[in-house]
Amino acid sequence: MIEIVLFIVRMAPAILFILFMMLIFFSFRIELKEDSMSRFNAELADSLSSSPLMLHRSIFDPQKLTETENIDPKKIIELYAYNCDFGYNIEVESIGTTICSGGNECTGFCNSVCGLDGSNIDMSTVGTLNGNCGCNIEVFGDNFCQCKKPGGDWQNSYKWHYGYEPTSASNKQSRAEFPTAVGIDGTVIPATLTINSYDTVLTRLTCVTAKAYEIKSKQSVTLNTGGFASQIFERLDPQDTHVCLYDPTSNPLECRYFPGVTFEKLTLPETSKITVTAYPAKRVATCDEIKASPSIIAGVNDNVATVVLCST
Amino acid sequence: MDPLHWVFIVTALTLTFVVFAVNPLQVGIDEALRSNAELQAQRIASTINLVASAPDGTTYTLELPDVKCKINITSQFVTMHSVPAVGIELQYTISVIKTSTQVIGGNFDCKQNTLHLRKSNGVLTITNS
């Protein structure tokens, strides 16, 4: 008996070694990290660098940036480069300030940066209290031009910001900065392009709807809807350019630029996780009608009248 | 038998096993990557995004995975239907970045091996020949 025990004790290191080797072998697994949002940011920067926003490749046109920013009063616009999977906002900001000795040296700056011209420029006060354009006098260091866009804050560098701004938590989000330039009065000044991209409940809803509408086949997406109970995904925008998540009193909570797709509204249930299926339909229908009569679903050769969203 | 002998035998057996297992494992990984609809759709969408923003005259030839699959490319989406050697058919749709460049796609089969992308006069044309 004692010999058997001693044999087991002597064998223990060997058994442990075998177990260790087995653990190493069976714990082998492949993990594929796609990092799709970082890739999207880089590709979006590349797409924007050759878009109509540019004077030349990678040199932004201030006038086009101001025009784009002013298309929507809330600046929720994804123009010239649109990707339905991810919503994004961009910020273009010049590096450095414009040195001045008096307010009248800043009119060009105020025009380029804040879109102020003879009709709306107000240089009544040089400072930060009144007016919307002036030369900020510094006690130490150089004086610099600054201006204020309608409804905005004072800014002393060329800065534009527009795009999708989620108000709810994102499933994923990413931020990236790229070197760029802005063409001002015949000169090129260095700037930074910052892209923030988001994967949210609203981007997923818009994208599954767009996919069903264009590909003409049913599409599904899983959503974590904790905190979204009773919110309504619909288009109430009279311009037909934006969609929003509304509260039950039709107050918009979060909106996204999403033109050209017709769909039926969806009220999000109280469950924390749902699957939304988007059906391209030949006519307006309810989810029950779609399930009872699949012939309502548009095929590849049919015209899609609307997209019906059903949650389970 | 002495425990050291056991360790020696087990190590020898394990190493032999590992040596013979690495190759099938590598083949399995390659097959999994090739037939991964999501990965392949992303690869195609990325190429479209890059060529769409490239100067006129840019061309690119994209090699398709050597698996049974079908690809549908529209102006906004790339859909990949992949049938792996083992398992069920997988489908994944990804959006491309919509810009002022018009994308002319179509339906393609992976048996055709390559996709040719050509940007000319602001239009990106995708063909398989």
What is the ipTM metric for this complex?
A: 0.79
Residue A7 lies in a domain: no
Burial of residue A292 (number of CB atoms within 10 Å: 0-12, 13-18, 19+) = exposed
Q: Which of A135, A166, A199 is the last residue of a domain?
A: A199
pLDDT of residue B3: 65
Closest CB from B6, B18, B99 relative to A80: B99
A70 and A106 both lie in a single domain: yes
CA distance A214 to chain B (A): 8
Average pLDDT score over chain A = 88
pLDDT of residue A11: 78
Please say if the pLDDT value at position A312 is more than 70: yes
Q: Which A-chain residues 33-52 have CB contacts (< 8 A) with chain B? A: 34, 36, 39-40, 43-44, 46-47, 49-52
A158 and A223 both lie in a single domain: no
Of A48, A111, A201, A184, which is closest to residue B101 (Cα–Cα)?
A48
Average pLDDT over residues A251-259: 92
Q: Which helix (H) or strand (E) holds A88?
A: strand A87-94
pLDDT digits 0-9 by tens, A112-143: 888 888 888 888 765 556 788 888 888 888 88
Closest CB from A11, A30, A39 relative to B29: A30
Number of domains composing chain A: 2
A109 and A172 both lie in a single domain: yes
pLDDT confidence of A278, banded at 50, 70, 90? very high
A159 and A206 both lie in a single domain: no
Provide the total of helices (H) and of strands (E) in chain B, helices listed first: 2, 8
A45 and A178 both lie in a single domain: yes
pLDDT confidence of A272, banded at 50, 70, 90? confident
Residue A206 lies in a domain: yes
Chain B residues touching A215 at Cβ < 8 A: 72, 74, 77, 79, 93
How many CB atoms sit inside 10 A of residue B99's CB?
23
Out of A166-175, A218-227, A243-252, B20-29, pick the least confident: B20-29
Chain A residues touching B79 at Cβ < 8 A: 215
A167 and A235 both lie in a single domain: no
A174 and A265 both lie in a single domain: no
The residues facing A172 across adjacent strands are: A199
Chain A residues touching B75 at Cβ < 8 A: 214
Residue A26 lies in a domain: no
Burial of residue B49 (number of CB atoms within 10 Å: 0-12, 13-18, 19+) = buried
pLDDT of residue B60: 95
Domain of residue A195 covers 36-199
d(CA A16, CA A286): 63
CB distance A62 to B68 below 8 Å:
no
Residue A45 lies in a domain: yes
CB contact under 8 A, A13 and B3: yes
Residue A19 lies in a domain: no
CB distance A243 to A236 below 8 Å:
no
Residue from A40, A193, A258 whose CB has the most chain B CBs within 10 Å, to mutate: A40
pLDDT of residue B34: 65
Q: What share of chain A is helix, strand, coil (3-state, %, to 5)?
A: 25, 30, 45
How many CB atoms sit inside 10 A of residue B111's CB?
12
Please say if the pLDDT value at position B57 is more than 90: yes
CB distance A89 to A194 below 8 Å:
no
Q: Does B61 touch chain A (CB under 8 A)?
A: no
A195 and A217 both lie in a single domain: no
A81 and A187 both lie in a single domain: yes
Q: Does B9 touch chain A (CB under 8 A)?
A: no
Chain B residues touching A11 at Cβ < 8 A: 3, 6
CB distance B69 to B35 below 8 Å:
yes
Residue B64 has what DSSP assignment?
P
A276 and A160 both lie in a single domain: no
A121 and A236 both lie in a single domain: no
Of B79, B50, B44, which is closest to residue B65 (Cα–Cα)?
B44
**pLDDT higher at A169 or A245:** A245
Residue B98 has what DSSP assignment?
B
Q: Which of A153, A171, A199 is the last residue of a domain?
A: A199
d(CA A290, CA A106): 62
Please say if the pLDDT value at position A26 is more than 70: yes
Residue A266 lies in a domain: yes
CB contact under 8 A, A14 and B3: yes
Q: Could you tell me where the DSSP H helices lie in chain B?
A: 3-34, 37-52
CB contact under 8 A, B95 and A44: no
CB contact under 8 A, B76 and A13: no
pLDDT of residue B6: 72
Residue from A47, A51, A300 whose CB has the most chain B CBs within 10 Å, to mutate: A47
Average pLDDT over residues B109-122: 90
Residue A119 lies in a domain: yes
Cα–Cα separations (whole angstroms), residue A292 to A216, A252, A265, A288, A297: 19, 33, 20, 6, 11
A180 and A261 both lie in a single domain: no
Average pLDDT over residues A3-9: 80
Chain B residues touching A206 at Cβ < 8 A: none
Q: Which of A199, A227, A249 is the last residue of a domain?
A: A199
Cα–Cα separations (whole angstroms), residue B32 to A24, A167, A299, B40, B44: 22, 38, 31, 11, 17
